[in-house]
Structure 1
Amino acid sequence: MSKSVIAIYPGTFDPISLGHEDILLRAAAMFDKVILAVATAHHKKTLFTLDERMDMARQAMAAHPQIEVVPFTGLVRDFARLHHAKVMVRGVRAVTDFDYEFQLAGMNRQLMPDVETVFLTPSAEYQFISSTFVREISMLGGEGDGRNLVSPGVYERLMAKKAAAA
């Protein structure tokens, strides 16, 4: 009997974008289970609360039962151990992402040598998307207000945040 491989994909996902979704689906095709680890983000000021980010991610991934959305705080190492993960998935869009992610992977290897980091690139149409761009375009009224960058449920939440801020 083969061993089940659990992967984690950690981040703040503020909000989850189509690029994140693309990486998740690619990872789900490779591993038995993928845990989307939504960070409390104590070091960042987020637009959405942890509960809102969790709800949006669960809604976006509802059709994919092998993807579980779970909150976490603290070190990814401790989260990985708790969930018996053997792989950490990281999305890389460009060389600048790779430089940072490469350093992070090296540090994580020191902290958790039994967990491999796997870098995945999004499809070409999603390579430019970042949560920062999504928030700025949506909140500042860019072309389409970010409708083409996130799933419909996330877009509705972005528009509600924009209306509340007005």
Structure 2
Amino acid sequence: MKIALFPGSFDPITIAHVDIVTRSLPLFDKIVVGIGLNSSKQNLLSPDKREEIVKSVFASYPTIEVRAYEGLTIDFCKQINASYMLRGIRSTGDFEYERAIAQINKTMLPSAETILLLSQPEYSAISSTIVRDILRNNGDVSQFVPKEALPFLKL
């Protein structure tokens, strides 16, 4: 079984994240959207709320599972038997960052491959960081997040 992990903080999930996952569905038997929890990070949404939102977004996809995890992403890959890590890249800066992480992960777990998908051009400016800033300033994020997330994002 080909299992891929799509890790991230998803604080909040964006339409760009959803696009990467849904475009990847034909490549894998199962995709685990892994919500990485980092207690040293200042998040906008609680871990429970992020998990609830992401589960609601992918509720109609039987081959997508949503799970929160702590610790090293590579350790979570081992735990769920994922042979692939899925990442989206928007720019050359993203590529350089993801390449370095992929190379370290490959050293730590040689059986795991990182798959990098280019974001769609119309999504390349969308990031959770920008969406968080819009939310903190009471702006309208409806064009940047999946519709299923909107009821959860009333801050």
CA deviations 1:30-85 (Å, max 9, x no partner) are 11100000011223111111110001001111111101000100111211111111
> 1:148 is matched with which residue: 129, 143, 149?
143
Secondary structure, counterpart of 1:35 in structure 2:
strand
Q: Secondary structure of the equivalent of 2:12?
A: coil
Of Structure 1 and Structure 2, the greater helix share is in 1
**Counterpart AA for 1:153:** E
Match in the other structure for 1:87: 84
In the alignment, what sits opposite 2:11?
14
Q: Specify the code of the residue in structure 1 equivalent to 2:25.
A: A
Residue 34 of structure 2, aligned match among 27, 32, 37: 37
Percent identical: 36
The normalised TM-score by structure 2 is: 0.95
User: In structure 1, what residue type is equivalent to 2:133?
Assistant: E
User: What is the Cα-based RMSD across aligned positions, in Å?
Assistant: 1.1
Q: 1:128 is matched with which residue: 125, 129, 134?
A: 125
SS in 2 for 1:77: helix
CA drift of 1:126 comes to 1.2
How many residues are aligned here?
155
Report the equivalent of 2:114: 117
Q: Within 1, Cα distance between the matches of 2:103 and 2:128? A: 24
From the CA coordinates, give the structure whose radius of gyration is larger: 1
The one of 57, 60, 66 equivalent to 1:69 is 66
Deviations 1:6-49 (A, max 9, x none): 00011100011000000111122211100000011223111111
Q: For 1:146, what is the secondary structure of its paired residue?
A: coil
Deviation, 1:112, is: 0.7
4+ residue runs over 6 A deviation? none
Q: Secondary structure at the match of 2:49?
A: helix
Alpha-carbon distance between aligned partners in 1 of 2:119 and 2:59, rounded to the nearest angstrom: 20
Tell me, what secondary structure is at the counterpart of 1:153? Answer: helix
Q: Which runs of 5+ in 2 are unaligned?
A: none
With the length of structure 1 as denominator, give the TM-score of the two structures.
0.89
